[in-house]
Amino acid sequence: MANHIDKNVDKSSIQLVEALLFLENGPVNIRYIAKITGETRETIREAVSIIRERLQENESSLVVVENENGDYQLTINADLYEKLGKRYDTRKKLSLSPQALETLAIVAYKQPITRVEIEKIRGVGVEHVLRVLLEYELIRIMGKKEVPGRPVLYGTTKNFLKFFGILSLKDLPSISEFEKT
């Protein structure tokens, strides 16, 4: 590995970034990595490149992926999901009703959004569904809307991204794709 290391990136920096990616178990923004590790963004990019190369050279089951926002994630090779997905895929363990999925889709596409705004779109009460989605940690309370009554604002979580196997909300299909069907 020493022949791949740039003189600006030492072994301990690489190990620190790799450990953080492992422990976070989800997409991690480069600013967050820099804050936690104390490393510069350039050092982090170089460390990720070295980690990615090392994993590839060793034909590891792990890979480092990066989304368009510059978020990094240490995950398993896509081919292995087919073999292990039945046991470890959280989507199989969580069963959501059609009402919960519809509400979750509204939150994902319209966040931050209030309960009343969701109910206006769905045409029915969603208080119970929101409680279930909060319990499963697929949505979170993002704050309060600056209007009279200060209603709670809802948005999606990292668990939502993991549940659907995406790295960011930008990976969601566009609404126009649904209108075509």
* Domain extent at residue 69: 11-85
Number of domains comprising the chain: 2
Instruction: Work out the average pLDDT over 85-109.
Output: 79
Q: Are 29 and 99 in a shared domain?
A: no
Instruction: Name residue, tokens 């979580």.
Output: 157
pTM for this model (two decimals): 0.53
Q: Are the C-beta atoms of residues 64 and 52 closer than 8 Å to each other?
A: yes
Say if CB 156 and CB 53 are below 8 A apart. Answer: no
Are 74 and 99 found together in one domain? no
Express each pLDDT in 112-154 by its tens digit. Answer: 999 999 999 999 999 999 999 999 899 999 999 999 999 999 9
Angle between helix 30-37 and helix 41-57 axes, rounded to 10 deg: 100
CATH of the domain at 56: 1.10.10.10
Mean pLDDT of all residues in 48-61: 91
What are the C-alpha distances in Å from 166 to residues 44, 65, 73, 163? 22, 11, 11, 8
